[in-house]
Amino acid sequence: MSRVIIIGCGGVAKVAIHKCCQNDDIFTDLCIASRTLSKCDEVKKELEGKTKTNITTKKINANNINELMDLFNEFKPEIVMNLGMPYQNLIIMDACLEYGCHYLDTAAYEPEDVNEPTWRKRYEERVKEKNFTAYFDYSYQWEYNDKFAKKGLIALLGCGFDPGVTQAYVAYAKKHEFDRIDTLDILDCNGGDHGYPFATNFNPEINLREVSSDGAYYENGKWIKVPAMSIKKEYNFDGVGMKDMYLLHHEEIESIAKNYPEIKRIKFYMTFGESYLRHMNCFENVGLLSTKAIDYNGQKIVPIQFLKALLPDPSTLGPRTKGKTNIGCIFRGIKDGKEKTYYIYNMCDHQESYHEVGSQAVSYTTGVPAMCGAMLILKKIWTTPGAKTVEEYDPDPFIEALDKYGLPKTESYNPMMVD
């Protein structure tokens, strides 16, 4: 018996809702709360007669703490899964603390308006100190660690695939495969084709902000910044084939570097096709990625939000996306005095995901881990309170749950290395 609120009803949330409903012995009462009520009602209708989970829906603006508190007091959740936007992470964490329930999200906090002066000042200081320019960083959410710990509550940060499963893979490799890990390459390949000249496979605002930032990696205790898309490699991905991939900064590098200081070098690569990069450069050059509102005929318009309105909604890509994703971690390190390499990854098929839950694999690979993380908290298998990332918990039950609920691991002891 559990009471769970899911905030947001986009691509990722829909998968998590379907998965919670497949697991209806644990997720008995679910409230879907999002900005557009009709989307919540549609998902509820899709699941009618297919689950024992009792689903309710609610319209909510997650920017409004009073609306959040009213909902929490009325529904009485044990955990709130924030599967909306990272802009609302802090306010939802505040509401969870005030009400007294666990919290989970899939992306690190970043502000909607990156020109807000107080945030900007702290950002500029961080850029100087840490040498990465991405708008997201964990410091804001780590500041909640003691507050959650004092109340015996968990705030599970970044429990999607990357961040999320990739960190569990690190904890798993350290627990079972290595005495010491020296290098880590995280590889995120989407070999799917949706047939559009340009579309992002998760929220366009967050996706474009992430990939247009400078890249950064971590080496010998320092951040090395590189211009966006300036480091390109080719890799032959199982189930996909040869793809170009580019070095990006990604949020799990920050938490893995903190929690596994023995790892001397951590890099993250993501695959992109020529067409994606050409479009992205063009949007950037004409100012369409800007978060600063402009006046247009007396109306305030935020360029990146306008662009989002023009692009295909990622949650509608399911029927047309074909191919596979392949996401995982390649390690080099030492076991029993000998050097060793190890690769652990998952392959997920877009069409199989679509036929199971009505969504493409990028939403699937994020929504399934979110459900698994919430399940481990509800079953009191993961119990350490505080604001923590996935690698801080025992990886075994999580990886077991992923195997069971649709994201099985594949392992290789002789992988092609990136460098």
Residue 83 binds to ligand NDP (criterion: CB under 6 A): yes
Q: How far apart are CA 310 and CA 386, in angstroms?
A: 40
Among 4, 5, 8, 357, binds ligand NDP (CB under 6 A): 8
- For ligand NDP, give the closer residue by CB, 256 or 332: 256
Residue 162 binds to ligand NDP (criterion: CB under 6 A): yes
Among 6, 17, 32, 62, binds ligand NDP (CB under 6 A): 62
Q: How many residues does the chain have?
A: 419
Residue 154 binds to ligand NDP (criterion: CB under 6 A): no
Say which residue the tokens 């000042």 belong to: 121
* Contact string (CB under 6 A) for ligand NDP, positions 398-417, x = contact: --------------------
- For ligand NDP, give the closer residue by CB, 140 or 178: 140
Question: Structure tokens of 44?
Answer: 């509820």
Residue 58 binds to ligand NDP (criterion: CB under 6 A): no
Phi and psi for 126 in degrees, rounded to 5?
A: -65, -40
Residue 163 binds to ligand NDP (criterion: CB under 6 A): yes
- For ligand NDP, give the closer residue by CB, 159 or 216: 159
CA nearest neighbour of 85 among 206, 243, 244: 206
Phi and psi for 152 in degrees, rounded to 5?
A: 70, 25
Strand partners, 29: 3, 54
Q: How far is the CB of 363 from ligand NDP (least distance, A)?
A: 6
Binding piece for ligand NDP, criterion CB under 6 A, among 4-12, 140-148, 177-185, 237-245: 4-12
Among 2, 23, 34, 389, binds ligand NDP (CB under 6 A): 34
Question: Structure tokens of 109?
Answer: 């906090």
- For ligand NDP, give the closer residue by CB, 15 or 333: 15
Say which residue the tokens 């793809």 belong to: 243
- For ligand NDP, give the closer residue by CB, 105 or 217: 105
Q: Which of residues 175-214 bind ligand NDP (CB under 6 A)?
A: 202-203, 206
Is the separation of the CB atoms in 391 and 260 below 8 Å? yes
Measured over the CA atoms of residue 275, residue 276, residue 279 and residue 285, the dihedral's sign is negative
Among 18, 39, 44, 324, binds ligand NDP (CB under 6 A): 39
Binding piece for ligand NDP, criterion CB under 6 A, among 154-162, 230-238, 340-348, 409-417: 154-162
Residue 328 binds to ligand NDP (criterion: CB under 6 A): no
Binding piece for ligand NDP, criterion CB under 6 A, among 24-32, 162-170, 235-243, 348-356: 162-170
Among 2, 4, 6, 11, binds ligand NDP (CB under 6 A): 11
Among 45, 54, 61, 73, binds ligand NDP (CB under 6 A): 61
- For ligand NDP, give the closer residue by CB, 106 or 271: 106
Residue 346 binds to ligand NDP (criterion: CB under 6 A): no
- For ligand NDP, give the closer residue by CB, 106 or 178: 106
| Residue type at position 116 | E
Residue 106 binds to ligand NDP (criterion: CB under 6 A): yes
Binding piece for ligand NDP, criterion CB under 6 A, among 59-67, 230-238, 278-286, 401-409: 59-67
Q: How far apart are CA 302 and CA 313, in angstroms?
A: 18
Q: Which of residues 299-318 bind ligand NDP (CB under 6 A)?
A: 314-315
- For ligand NDP, give the closer residue by CB, 362 or 371: 362
Among 85, 199, 270, 390, binds ligand NDP (CB under 6 A): 85
Binding piece for ligand NDP, criterion CB under 6 A, among 9-17, 120-128, 168-176, 269-277: 9-17
- Given the rule CB under 6 A, which residues bind ligand NDP? 8-13, 34-36, 39, 60-63, 83-86, 88, 106-107, 158, 160-164, 202-203, 206, 314-315, 362, 366
